[in-house]
Structure 1
Amino acid sequence: MKALLTFIIVLTTSIQIQGQERLISGKVTSASDNLPLAGANILIKGTGKGVTANFEGLYQIKVKPTDILVFNYLGFVTQEKKVGTLNTISVVLEEDTSSLDEIVIMGYGTTKRKEITSAVTTVKSESVSSALSGKVRGVKINNQEPQSGLLTAGEINDLEKWGEWKENLKKDEYKEIQQNWNFYLENKIQVAINDNNGVPLNNIKVSLFNETNQLIMAARTDFTGEVTLFKDLNQKCEDDYYTVQIRQNDKIFGKKITNTYNRIEFTLDEQSQSNDIDVMFTIDATGSMGDEINYLKSELKNIITRLDKSIDDKRVALTFYRDFGDAYVVKDFDFNSDIDAVKDILSHQGAGGGGDYEEAVEQALKVSMSKSWNTNAKAKLLFLLLDAPPHFTKENVAIIKEQIKLAQAKGIKIIPVVASGANKNVEFLMRFFSVSTNGTYVFITDDSGIGNPHLKPSTDNFEVEKLNDLIVRLIEKYSGVIS
């Protein structure tokens, strides 16, 4: 009886241990050159759950001892490893030379020869460059990537065209968006902060409270020493008095103002200021972006290269997203000062998945806000490239509002870049994103003749520029770089 009891206890303990999850880590590299395979997929076999390796090929994942990890990367032989008692699992992947002749270029996508009868939108390669790439790890392709400087775009800075913005808010389309997403942004106040010598102070924390001392909005000044706050960020402006509070080191200053104020100035002590720049590109990588994704990749690599030359202290991050039910919802790569590594990651991404119109925009924002943004950076910019809105649910409204408030508090300017296929709902919501975070709104135009038709924006006038030139101009503008 005692032996039986001991056996049952050991068996029960064993089962409990086998069912416990733990965090393991490792690195994925290439056998040919020992370089990290950034973007490699690490999946838990039979579950659909997994992660991607970062710029250094490193990964972390929660697993059970009974799990089997599947390591794959296009052009390389897939490996499987049983977890067991291991806490670290690193793999070296061999190039799969036998599969090279199966890779076929079709229009805007890379696919397998056996899938050639399917539509281009069914492309399944997730972690490698799409068609027209000049090179992919393990795959030699003669086709050249599209040259940069082909896509055309325009910009609407609603903070600088405030009269037009307020006129737009009278339109039914805007009123519907206001009601759905609870953004109003009609009643603003400009806060300017300089030191005793008249030098603008950036990255100063500024908060706006209503007359019952409830926080409405928290933000940070940019390189101009200014920030725009909104008394009606998420609800109509009904208070008679407000308090503007600023914080410098351990000191707090405040001024009580009436609802009629639209500008207020502060003078503070001198302080050292950073020249660091953080730039993130958050990109819709669903199938609907297939008509432009390769051109966008060329433009972004050109932008990143020019950024590398014009701004010394910078980091770049990449976030790709699709939708629930796709191969991944969000695939992210944190900030990196190695520009070549960033461009290499960008080369290995393609469009796929999707299906319905809306995508997981809220999840992409949530991940983007959680990255290692430099709190003291002179400029923090998030370029959101997309052609579809988030799913409209009560939960997503709350998530979006929370992420916008995080962007404001961190001093991150959101700059949407809207591609073909977008409707007025996308335009209006993205303009709310940009206005609320002191950013600007960018949209691709038909002037280049590339991609499907693009939405005509609601504005009196705008200038058509090359997309790469426009984005570089904006980065330099918000970084205080004089070109």
Structure 2
Amino acid sequence: MRIFMLILFSVFFCSCGTQKESMIYKQLGASAVDASASPAPEETSIVREKPESKSIEDFSDEDFSDKGKKEIPITAAIPMAAPKPEVKTVAKSTLKAGSHNDNEEFVRYLEYLERPMLKDIRVPRLNVRERYILQVKDTSGNPVPNCQLRIFLSQKNIGEYTTSSSGEAILFVESDPGNQKIEIEGKYLGNSFSHSFIRGKEQVVPILVSSARQIPDPLPLDIVFLLDTTGSMGDEIQKLKDTLFSIHHRITSKIKIKTQVRFGMVLYRDSGDEYITKLYPLTSSLEEFQQKLDNVSAKGGGDVPEELDQALSETITEQNWNDSGLRLVFLVTDAPPHLNRHQERNYVWAMKEAAKKGIKVYSVGASGLDMAGEYVLRQIALFTQGQYIFLTYGEKGESSDSDKALVSHHTGANFKEMLLDDLIVSMVKKDLSYLVDVSLVMEEEIPEPAQYNAFSLNEKVSNLAQQLCHSASQRLKEKPSIAVFPLQIENSKRFKNVERFVQDAISQELKKQSCKLVEREEIKKAIAERMLSSGAVLDEKEIGQITQVQGAEVFLSGRLYAMGESMVLFAQLVDVKSLEKLAVARVLWTPE
């Protein structure tokens, strides 16, 4: 009888444990829970909490274990706890990702917006078709960061921006098709200036300031990690914990410029969880930040959307950002925000506020991110000059919509897979490279002449030609005759392997766009004769005269020049007779 009673007690105990575990998995949506980590100290963070309520997720695994209980011999079959539902995970040391820059591949982004699969997704659809790259440079041609710009159309303020490290701001004009003149009021180093341009003529708007740029020494570099900490984000959070010191070392040791690096963090979950947001101010103490990061655990969630609206708004407005250096956010999530709410401070408001303050957001999509999430993260990156980063699981090309464990990415096949921490480091280095001379950027210098991947460079050139034809489509007649002039090369030694390849690729792409090309040899012969007689560099008027004689209606001219560790390819289509610029485009390419 005594043995029988012990068996009954054991069966009852194990059944209770099974029910409790089952409740946990249901509540967390079958996500991994890091119950061993202790909560971050409240005195070092700003926490937005819901009223306290006891929830099953507030318990740890220890509450349901047999630790400390007297062992009972089992002599009968005992019902076992239900196994955890299978969750697709990736080993912490092998999280790999691809990236996509929609501002560089803008024509393709517009094509993405027209895809039928997006038709039924309820997301804020902003008009982005009229886009201008405002490019501020100093008297030496250097990009000017942290220049404040106010934009006016019909005397109405339609936007405010702070230029990024590349000296650029991205302007989207969403209204007032009648007025054609856009006015800009700018301020840099306390000096005011003004500029204006006519809509529709140029995609890239050059703006010159009268003073030389000033780069602080040391350069302030603020990096904030905006982390979705719901239950399914355990792998991504652990990867960041494991690689933070390495990321810091590689950022500070491989660039010959003094930086004052600070890390900050904003955590977020959803309504009903332990907290909605937790904000950790930027700090220059790596050890202090690592300790806070180590205390972060992944819990909660359940439904798909999370509280990204509030989290992004607080990241932009409540962090102690510097105002004279670089400001970067890495947003990591596997879920979209709540898209059925009507509130003023949503993610759209926050991303525009980020552009106003010159804060660049790199959005990272983790496993299970759906198409609505992809749309939102790409929108945020587009408006803030960041990039869309997506974890990969060995797939080639675009993600499969039928595999819900993958990250939704409809960006084409032209991406290079890298470890996630490598990708973060490369993004930071690229932003820093705009602020120093090429010779000071990398200890691992790019070989001279630069080596290039023909596939990736061809994609960039193809994109450039598509942008030109797209912008000039309303003013080009069917099958126009185009003369492609040799590109101006500002560093002929560095780019000598690239120049001819680019020329050929542009010509091939223009042929695909139904353009007739004037023979290159005829153009080269005419240029040589003109320069022999004049002895000077040809200006646009002389180029127009040459191309008109050759029977061209439009000519394409451009130049290759270095910007940090990257190469900029700038090109324009010009009407031969009037010398009117029909279209201007620019792409950025980084040699491997």
- Report the TM-score range of the alignment, normalised by the length of the smaller protein: 0.5 to 0.7
State the 1:196 CA deviation. Answer: 1.7
State the 1:453 CA deviation. Answer: 2.8
Correspondence for 1:298: 242
Correspondence for 2:287: 340
User: Are 2:207 and 1:207 aligned?
Assistant: no
Correspondence for 1:261: 202
- Aligned ranges for residues 182-331 of structure 1 at < 5 Å? 182-210=125-153, 212-232=154-174, 239-248=179-188, 249-268=190-209, 269-274=211-216, 275-310=219-254, 312-331=259-278
Q: Cα gap change, 1:383/1:263 in structure 2, threshold over 3 Å: closer, same or farther?
A: same
State the 1:368 CA deviation. Answer: 0.6
The answer on whether the counterparts of 2:370 and 2:404 sit within 8 Å (CA) in structure 1 is no
State the 1:200 CA deviation. Answer: 2.0
State the 1:456 CA deviation. Answer: 4.6
Q: Which 5+ residue runs of structure 1 have no aligned equivalent?
A: 1-36, 41-51, 63-73, 75-102, 104-109, 122-145
State the 1:170 CA deviation. Answer: 1.4
State the 1:308 CA deviation. Answer: 4.6
Matched position secondary structure for 2:273: coil
CA distance in 2, matches of 1:220, 1:411: 5
Correspondence for 1:476: 429
State the 1:418 CA deviation. Answer: 0.5
Amino acid at match of 1:478: D
Correspondence for 1:360: 307
Correspondence for 2:334: 387
Q: CA RMSD in A?
A: 3.2
- Give 1 or 2: higher helix fraction: 2
User: Are 2:61 and 1:111 aligned?
Assistant: yes
Amino acid at match of 1:255: S
Correspondence for 2:10: none
Once the two structures are superposed, residues 168-197 of structure 1 have per-residue CA deviations (whole angstroms, 9 ceiling, x without a partner) of: 1211344666x7314232221111222222
User: Are 2:398 and 1:445 aligned?
Assistant: no
- Taking structure 1 as the reference length, the TM-score comes to 0.67
Matched position secondary structure for 2:247: helix
CA distance in 2, matches of 1:158, 1:236: 25
| Equivalent residues, number | 358
The answer on whether the counterparts of 1:151 and 1:444 sit within 8 Å (CA) in structure 2 is yes
The answer on whether the counterparts of 1:317 and 1:336 sit within 8 Å (CA) in structure 2 is yes
Correspondence for 2:500: none
Once the two structures are superposed, residues 404-432 of structure 1 have per-residue CA deviations (whole angstroms, 9 ceiling, x without a partner) of: 12101110011111101111110011100
Q: Cα gap change, 1:60/1:221 in structure 2, threshold over 3 Å: closer, same or farther?
A: closer
Correspondence for 1:5: none
Amino acid at match of 2:186: I
The answer on whether the counterparts of 1:387 and 1:421 sit within 8 Å (CA) in structure 2 is yes
Q: Cα gap change, 1:385/1:60 in structure 2, threshold over 3 Å: closer, same or farther?
A: closer
CA distance in 2, matches of 1:154, 1:119: 33
From 446, 458, 467, give the equivalent of 2:410: 458
Once the two structures are superposed, residues 373-423 of structure 1 have per-residue CA deviations (whole angstroms, 9 ceiling, x without a partner) of: 11111x211110000011113434652222112101110011111101111
Correspondence for 2:323: 375
Higher mean C-alpha deviation, range 423-432 or range 301-310: 301-310
The answer on whether the counterparts of 1:194 and 1:200 sit within 8 Å (CA) in structure 2 is yes
Once the two structures are superposed, residues 22-76 of structure 1 have per-residue CA deviations (whole angstroms, 9 ceiling, x without a partner) of: xxxxxxxxxxxxxxx9922xxxxxxxxxxx2217xxx8999xxxxxxxxxxx9xx
From 364, 381, 386, give the equivalent of 1:434: 381
The answer on whether the counterparts of 2:267 and 2:277 sit within 8 Å (CA) in structure 1 is yes
The answer on whether the counterparts of 1:240 and 1:258 sit within 8 Å (CA) in structure 2 is yes
Amino acid at match of 2:137: N
CA distance in 1, matches of 2:47, 2:270: 22
CA distance in 1, matches of 2:262, 2:252: 9
Matched position secondary structure for 2:311: helix
The answer on whether the counterparts of 2:310 and 2:345 sit within 8 Å (CA) in structure 1 is no
State the 1:251 CA deviation. Answer: 1.4
Correspondence for 1:91: none
State the 1:296 CA deviation. Answer: 4.1
- Taking structure 2 as the reference length, the TM-score comes to 0.55
State the 1:155 CA deviation. Answer: 0.2
CA distance in 1, matches of 2:146, 2:128: 22
The answer on whether the counterparts of 2:224 and 2:328 sit within 8 Å (CA) in structure 1 is yes
Q: Which 5+ residue runs of structure 2 have no aligned equivalent?
A: 1-37, 50-57, 67-80, 396-402, 443-592
The answer on whether the counterparts of 2:39 and 2:296 sit within 8 Å (CA) in structure 1 is no
State the 1:250 CA deviation. Answer: 4.2
Q: Which of structures 1 and 2 has the bigger CA Rg?
A: 2
Q: Cα gap change, 1:444/1:292 in structure 2, threshold over 3 Å: closer, same or farther?
A: same
Higher mean C-alpha deviation, range 395-404 or range 431-440: 395-404
Percent of pairs with identical residues: 26
Higher mean C-alpha deviation, range 243-252 or range 410-419: 243-252
CA distance in 2, matches of 1:436, 1:174: 19
Once the two structures are superposed, residues 203-224 of structure 1 have per-residue CA deviations (whole angstroms, 9 ceiling, x without a partner) of: 10123222x2222222122222
- Aligned ranges for residues 90-129 of structure 1 at < 5 Å? 111-114=61-64
Q: Cα gap change, 1:147/1:454 in structure 2, threshold over 3 Å: closer, same or farther?
A: closer
Amino acid at match of 2:248: I
User: Are 2:95 and 1:151 aligned?
Assistant: yes
Correspondence for 2:26: none
CA distance in 1, matches of 2:232, 2:129: 33
